[in-house]
Structure 1
Amino acid sequence: VSIDDGEVPAGELHETLTVPYIIFELADGDVRQRLDQTDGFDLAFVLRALHHSAVGIRQLHDAKVAHQDLKPSNVLDFRDDGCRVADLGRSSSQDGNSPHDNLVIAGDTTYAPPELLYGHISPDWRVRRFACDLYQIGSLAVFFFTQVGITALWHEYLDRTFLPDNWGEGYASVLPHVRQAHDLAFEEFEEQLPDEIRGILGPAVRQLCDPDPGRRGHPRNLSQRVNRYSVQRYISIFDRIARIAEWRLRKTMT
């Protein structure tokens, strides 16, 4: 919940231009700092942070807003009050115009989904924007267990010929190679997962980070009658495994 919002003048050189702002309460830091300050690996915190991030993205999507720049530094830690998604500076509204709507990649390129890295722009706003958010939710999960996002990880497994900066043809022709690189990256990620959540979180991240935006998301959502990019099922999945981790943590403390 914001403390204040409004608009302020952009500066002396732009007397008629205003810039919108939102002020939130001060956080204790972001999730990267929390992980750096924690002794050992706090599975319960990581899974709850992932759950809270997905809830934040769902709230934005319900308002027809895409975040487009979800990454560890934009997930704030409020210690005993959970985590919240922050920095809407690159967000896009389905019902309005944003200054960066003409950009292929609105957010940080190091966390961008592959279709945008290869310049593939869907005419469907939901595919172009909501699918990006799903990919970045999955990438956040990968970061928590490997210390890098999925984009950096699959780049390590892709022949340089097929890297975005070197590829001059369409995305459809390079997609098989990108998918193979993703599969290897998923395997590396899943090797880092605890046994008790590997069979749950592994498939969820594969769905969220599918390199084909047309196949991205929960299989049960891939229907014309529902929002294929709904994150509600993943919220439930993340909440379930977070509760398991929290229960086990409490047991070790008693």
Structure 2
Amino acid sequence: MREERRERGTADDAAQRRVGPYVLERLLGEGGMGEVHLARRADSPGGPPVALKVLRARLARDPGFLARFRREVAAARKVDSPFVVPLVDADTETAEPWLATAFVPGPTLADVIRSSGPLTEDRLREIGRALAGALEDIHAAGLVHRDLKPSNVLLHPDKGAQVIDLGIARALDGTRLTATGLVVGSAGYMAPEQLTGEGGSPASDVFALGAVLAYAATGRHPFGGGPAHRVGHRTLTEEADLDGVPDALLPLLASCLVKDPAQRPAPRRIRDVLAGSPGSRSPDPPGLRSPLRPRRPRRPRRCRWARDRRPPRRSRTRTGLPAPLPRPLPRRPRPRPYPRPPRPAGSSAAGSCSSPQCWPSFSRAP
């Protein structure tokens, strides 16, 4: 870190430093890939300023990072959207690669939330429409952002919210812009499929959009803070904290943050819902019903072939209880056995026959 600061030098030295056709004025920030400076063209000092990102010297010698930087430039050139900060110029073949984007004279969404607190519902709708439009244009260019978070959203005083940092974008054709097996993104804003290694998709950006709007509405990270592995575990196993989100936006944000990517709405649908266009209602996520849409009773489906198989309907009494079952029929009495005549006196049990034909006949004496 000290060597890099020595390379950068003091602020006065940076003011005289020149990168390509631009003269650096002051340092705006630092990132994982390099430094961002406010710069102007040397041939037009009064021209519009740009945000010039310079790749670090040690990373410029790494072929992997250099390839990632070149892909960032190629991805930024593909996107043409009023909701994405445009690329002005770039040079990836020099010893000190750099790229210049339009300078946005405004804070990030994260800075605004930290200083002023949660946003109002009207402001949330405005920012949400801009972010959904940015994702729609990024996906139309065949890319996935994969790192949408509050610090990557700049608030222009005239143009509104704009998205920056396409450095870890991934092409929809399957071209990987990062190393295989590397989890790319920010904890708390990565979709569950990104955490499990399935990769990013347009639905992953929708998940990040829902997390960004939830943070802007509540001032809290939707899956809490702490170490990245704990936040990732809560993202996989727990539901997002949406306490404090306006009731009108609660179903929409909940549908963006569902675990199943197939159940998340498309950016176009999100824009329509936030714009309040007629006929577009907030989508209902599983287990959560919109307060604006009454639940209609479901009518049972009837099939002709199943009419005879349906059980007979029981009549109900006035109390609503089913009618009692009919009483069982009384049991028929068992038939009595044939009466056996008495055994005559003097007869023995041995050799006697029990059949009536063997019984002795008694006759009256004359």
Q: TM-score, normalised by structure 2?
A: 0.45
Residues 152, 113 of structure 1: CA spacing in aligned structure 2 closer, same or farther, 3 A cutoff? farther
Letter in 2 for 1:192: G
User: 1:68-120: CA deviations, max 9, x gaps?
Assistant: 00000111100232111111111111247343162453222332112332x24
Larger CA deviation: 77-86 vs 21-30? 21-30
Looking at structure 1, the residues matched to 275 and 198 of structure 2 have their Cα atoms a distance apart, in angstroms, of 33
What's the counterpart of residue 244 of structure 2?
192
1:94 aligns with 2:178: no
Give a deviation string over 1:192-238, Cα, whole Å, max 9, x none: 133xxx1x4111112111112233x13xxxxxxxxxxx310101112
Q: Are the equivalent residues in 1 in contact too, given 2:169–2:177 (CA < 8 A)?
A: no
Asked whether 1:240 is paired with 2:317, we answer no
* Structure 1 residue 142 displacement after superposition: 0.9
Q: Structure 1 residue runs of 4+, over 6 Å off?
A: none
Say if 1:70 and 1:3 are closer, same or farther in 2 by CA, change over 3 A: closer
More helix by share: 1
Say whether the 8 Å CA contact 1:29–1:77 is kept in structure 2.
Answer: yes
CA distance in 1, matches of 2:107, 2:115: 11
Question: Structure 2: how far apart are the matches of 1:11 and 1:78?
Answer: 33
| Letter paired with 1:69 | D
> Taking structure 1 as reference, are residues 35 and 150 closer, same or farther at Cα in structure 2, changes over 3 Å only?
closer
- Superposed CA deviations along residues 128-179 of structure 1, whole A, max 9, x for unmatched, are 32121010011011101222333337x9xxxx8xx749xxxxxxxx97xx2x
Q: 130, 145, 157: which is aligned to 1:52? A: 130
The reply on whether 1:30 has 2:66 as its aligned counterpart is no
Distance 1:39 1:132 in 2: 26
Measured at CA, do residues 129 and 112 of structure 1 come closer, stay the same or move farther in structure 2, by a change above 3 Å? same
Distance verdict in 2 for CA 1:150–1:38, change over 3 Å: closer
Aligned to 1:111: 189
State the Cα deviation string for residues 22-53 of structure 1 (Å, max 9, x = none): 51233311112234454884432232112111
SS in 1 for 2:188: helix
Is the alpha carbon distance of 1:5 and 1:92 closer, same or farther for their aligned partners in structure 2, counting shifts above 3 Å?
farther
Unaligned runs of 5+ in 2: 1-81, 278-366
Query: How much has 1:55 moved relative to structure 2?
Result: 0.7
Q: Aligned runs of 1:157-168 on 2, under 5 Å?
A: 164=233
Work out the percentage of aligned pairs sharing the same amino acid: 21
Partner Cα separation in structure 1 for residue 252 and residue 165 of structure 2: 25
- Residue 246 (structure 1) aligns with: none
Alpha-carbon distance in 1 for matches of 2:121, 2:253: 16
Q: 1:237 to 1:103 in 2, by over 3 A?
A: farther
- CA RMSD of superposed structures (Å): 3.2
- Within 1, Cα distance between the matches of 2:95 and 2:176? 19
Corresponding position of 1:149: 221
- Distance 1:73-1:40 versus aligned 2 partners, 3 A rule: closer
Letter in 2 for 1:5: D
Identify if the C-alpha distance between structure 1 residues 78 and 108 changes in structure 2 by more than 3 Å, giving closer, same or farther.
same
Q: Which residue of 1 aligns with 2:198?
A: 121
Shift of 1:62: 0.8
Given the alignment of the two structures, is residue 137 of structure 1 paired with residue 221 of structure 2, yes or no?
no
Instruction: Tell whether the 8 Å contact from 2:146 to 2:204 is kept in structure 1 after alignment.
Output: yes
Pair 1:80–1:34, CA change in 2 (3 A): farther
Equivalent-residue separation in structure 2 for 1:29 and 1:102 (angstroms): 34
Cα contact 1:112–1:151 (8 A) shared by 2: no
Structure 1: gaps (5+ residues): 13-18, 123-127, 166-173, 219-229, 242-254
Largest Rg, 1 or 2: 2
Are the structure 2 counterparts of residues 94 and 193 from structure 1 closer, same or farther at C-alpha, using a change threshold of 3 Å?
Answer: closer
Check whether the contact 1:76–1:86 (CA below 8 A) recurs between aligned residues: yes
Q: 1:71 aligns with which of 149, 155, 163?
A: 149
Aligned residue number for residue 209 of structure 1: 257
The structure 2 residue matched to 1:6, chosen from 90, 94, 104, is 90
User: Per chain length, whose mean CA-contact separation is higher, i.e. which structure has more relative contact order (CA < 8 Å, sep 6+)?
Assistant: 1
Q: TM-score, normalised by structure 1?
A: 0.63
